[in-house]
Amino acid sequence: MQLQFIVGSLLLFGSASAAPAPPADARSHPSIDSLGTLQALKYNNLGPGNNGTAAVLVYDRLPYLSAESRCASIGEALYPLQDVSQANATEIGYQLDYLVYAKDVAANSSFWIAKGSPNGCQAYSHSRKQVIPAPCDRQLPALCTSSVPPTTDKDREAVNKSKISISFDDYRMTGYRDGRSFRFLGIPFADPPVRDLRFAPPRPYSGPKKIDATKMADSCIQSVSGFGTLDNGGISEDCLYLNVYSPVLPSSHDRNSTRKPVAVYFYGGAFTSGTASMVDYDGGNFASRNDVVVVTVNYRVGALGWLTTGNLTTGNYGTRDQILALKWVNKYIEAFGGDPNHVTIFGQSAGGQSVIALLSSTAAHGLFSGAIVQSAPVDLPWFAREVYTKIVTPNVAGAVGCNGTTSETALISCLRSVPATRYLDNTTEFEAAMTASTETIASDWLHSSEILASIEPLMPIVDDIGSGVIDDQFYRLLASDRLPNRVPTMFTTVTTEAALYVDQYVPNLGASEAALELVYSYAYPTSLIKSLIATDAFPLNASDSDSVRNTVADALTHSEWSCPQAYLLRHGGRHAFPRLWEVEVRHGHVQTTVDVPSICSPNTDFNATCHSADVLPAWGTLNSKTKNVSPYYNKRDILHSRLLNDIFGSFFRTRNPNPDLEMLKLRGPAYASTYQIFGPRGYYMPEYEIAERNRYFLTHGSGSQLVIFQLHFPFPSLLPTCTSPSYTPKCERHAQPHIFICLPAEGLTSAFSLVSKNNHDQVIPAGEMCRCRITLYVGGQGMDITYEILVLDLLPVALVLDQLSQYHMWVVILRPPFGRGKQFGLSDI
């Protein structure tokens, strides 16, 4: 019996639009040099419809009639501030407050606005917070309307009047403005990797320099994902393009003074799929809400991204694409308002592994200065070249009809000559080739199960030719203190990464020990299975009708994500990174509800935080994702999204995930929920320390209430170690508060029970501080430790596990309703 346990992609993806149009003559659209520096203002609350006030700021100081003409040249008019609602006027004020804070405008600035009457000109005095009369020949910056809609997956077309051109290095590029940002899409950074450039490093773009950057590019050759479709096709070997989203577009003489932090994203997809064209990765929300320039990058995936034949091909073409894209960013991002000296790379799943590869790459040294690693299965090592030359390449060659070659030169020639569509892994021949490769890799390379080998059947390789693309395995670089790129880094995971795959491919097998052993056998060696069951590290819950799947999902999440990451950081992370944070996201929804297990989809019973559940909240694109996901989110989801977006945005700007309190406070209600967490409530995430091994949990609560937990354990020396063979952990549920915590650390530690003075079925008044008690059970003896719960009504939760986290214990708290079959190990707070 073979379970199709984990297939396709580690990251779900949606539709890609058609390939970029041929280079266009952009002279019919205004140039930024003729307009002066422009700022897109959007009071972005990340809510439904994203209906916050929008405007465009013209930085040039102009007389009134020239300002009026300047607005008209971008298809807008002077902003009628005196005629809009008080709410709109207030939101404009919040945005100007931020620009003063950011030192983009002076505190005593005034701005031209539309006339309130035919007689006289009017300006808005920001320091006085009122509309004032002004001489029409006075030279002031101007506020223009912004009438173009924000982008969603149903509305992705550029509005013609909003198109705008920029010029740099002989390029003339036409992009456009939507309701959130300036957007330049489908920008080529490399020549098409076709013919002799297939299975070769990318070559910097050398094509026409007049570029229409108003449409997304094709996605790289890949099959249709198991969890989504490419609705309109849009797959091509000519795919090395990137997208830029910016809150500001500087004229050429302002580029040194308007530079914003830059965030460059690499998508996931098991290194076999993914695309930068997804609306999920629309950078307009980061640009407008957190004032950063966002770049999303296409890179080669599947066989075309990683296959090597031996000494005549380098391999790692996908990673090389990413490095070339970063070189493009460093060279040109200033033209889009970005700071090439302040670049953060980030990615989720295989994208997170891509970030690890770049941290491990001498060839990428100096191209970025910060990193965020999301949900990277760091337990999986990079391949060696021989994995391809002896296992994968012969199988793939046979699948595409190149198995009769007699030399490496002939093999390369054949592999480059077959149509690119032959490398789609949804053909019978290619699927058989990958299955055969996975079986051999599992037995001969990973010495593990086919299930784990199938997570990512194609991988980057460790450099063995002196290229510096990936210097060594990440764990070796950490252990030997040889990591080439030492930058501030934040590692994140979600609570139940593996549930997405377990519940998709394993049927409900109840709560049977025999069934548990059977499913374990497809993931772990026999000796480990016996240890897991004997120690009861991940116990079945007899009252859970779906306990086998829940238990396996919990175990796989720890073995492939949480524990390997914790181990690496503990044994080498702190000295390798100048600043380091470890975060677990405990709430969210997967990127699509199409063909995903119910446990991962929004539902009234229970929603686990599955792999990819942090993507939409962090990007703030719940408001952009409308197809097949309605009703997808509620008010608490939006609050949680604001929290994650602000934490990521803060890291992009300051290399610290704790947002600046002054900035949050002055930006008004759209930022109030984040401010309440980090401001009056005093929440703060200190940097990771080996002595404390502090790990932070971000979530929201059940029902209508949300809480902050902060735990302090003063007696760490009394805890049993993970290697203690005499202690068998167990969890004891206290029925009255319906809340408990079980902490399996790298196999086993001890068990805690939380007892609250309040019945958690009752509504606790918002703002009440509840004194609670932890009882530590060691050898049957109990010891009480106090902790506090602060109840915050309708606010996101930031959960800190302070001293306890040095033992890498993962919090599990259950409260009625327990969810699907009284689940254990998958519940949010």
- Give the orientation angle of helix 513-520 with respect to helix 526-535, to 10 degrees: 140
Model pLDDT, residue 691: 60
Model pLDDT, residue 800: 28
The b-or-e profile of 68-85 (16+ CB within 10 A means b, else e) is bebbebbbbebbebeebe
Model pLDDT, residue 574: 73
pLDDT grade for 202, boundaries at 50, 70 and 90: very high
| Rounded Cα distance, 81 and 110, in Å | 13
Structure-model confidence comparison of residues 415 and 594, the more confident one: 415
pLDDT grade for 763, boundaries at 50, 70 and 90: very low
Structure-model confidence comparison of residues 683 and 38, the more confident one: 38
- Summarize the confidence of residues 176-192 as an average pLDDT: 96
Closest to 111 (Cα-Cα) out of 91, 84, 132: 132
Tell me the fold of 178-487. Rossmann fold (3.40.50)
Model pLDDT, residue 127: 93
**3-class DSSP state for residue 629?**
coil
Model pLDDT, residue 128: 93
Instruction: Kindly state the helix (H) or strand (E) to which residue 439 belongs, with its residue range.
Output: helix 428-440
CB 183 within 8 A of CB 159: no
Q: Residue 252 pLDDT > 60, yes or no?
A: yes
Q: Where are the domains of the chain?
A: 29-145, 178-487, 488-807
Domains 29-145 and 178-487 share a fold: no
- Give the tens place of pLDDT for each residue, 31-59: 999 999 999 999 999 987 667 899 999 99
Q: What's the chain's Rg over C-alpha atoms? A: 27
CA 20 to chain centre: 25
φ, ψ for residue 654, nearest 5 deg: -120, -5
Model pLDDT, residue 211: 96
| Rounded Cα distance, 616 and 645, in Å | 10
Pairing relationship of beta strands 121-125 and 110-113 according to DSSP bridges: antiparallel
Pairing relationship of beta strands 121-125 and 130-134 according to DSSP bridges: antiparallel
Closest to 586 (Cα-Cα) out of 470, 688, 708: 708
In this structure, of 184-193, 614-623, 704-713, 776-785, the range with the lowest mean pLDDT score is 704-713
CB 471 within 8 A of CB 484: yes
Query: Does a cis peptide bond (omega within 30 degrees of 0) precede residue 817?
Result: yes
Q: Residue 106 pLDDT > 90, yes or no?
A: yes
Q: Which two tokens stand for residue 738?
A: 């319906």
pLDDT grade for 748, boundaries at 50, 70 and 90: very low
| Rounded Cα distance, 334 and 262, in Å | 10
Query: DSSP assignment, residue 280?
Result: G
Model pLDDT, residue 708: 30
- Give the tens place of pLDDT for each residue, 314-331: 999 999 999 999 999 999
pLDDT grade for 140, boundaries at 50, 70 and 90: very high
Model pLDDT, residue 693: 62
Query: Does a cis peptide bond (omega within 30 degrees of 0) precede residue 564?
Result: no
Closest to 434 (Cα-Cα) out of 406, 399, 385, 473: 399
DSSP for 288-348 reads HHH--EEEEE----THHHH---STT----HHHHHHHHHHHHHHHHGGGGTEEEEEEEEEEE
- Give the tens place of pLDDT for each residue, 260-284: 999 999 999 899 889 999 888 999 9
Residue in the structure block whose two tokens are 């030399």: 407
φ, ψ for residue 706, nearest 5 deg: -130, 150
Tell me the fold of 29-145. Mannose-Binding Protein A; Chain A (3.10.100)
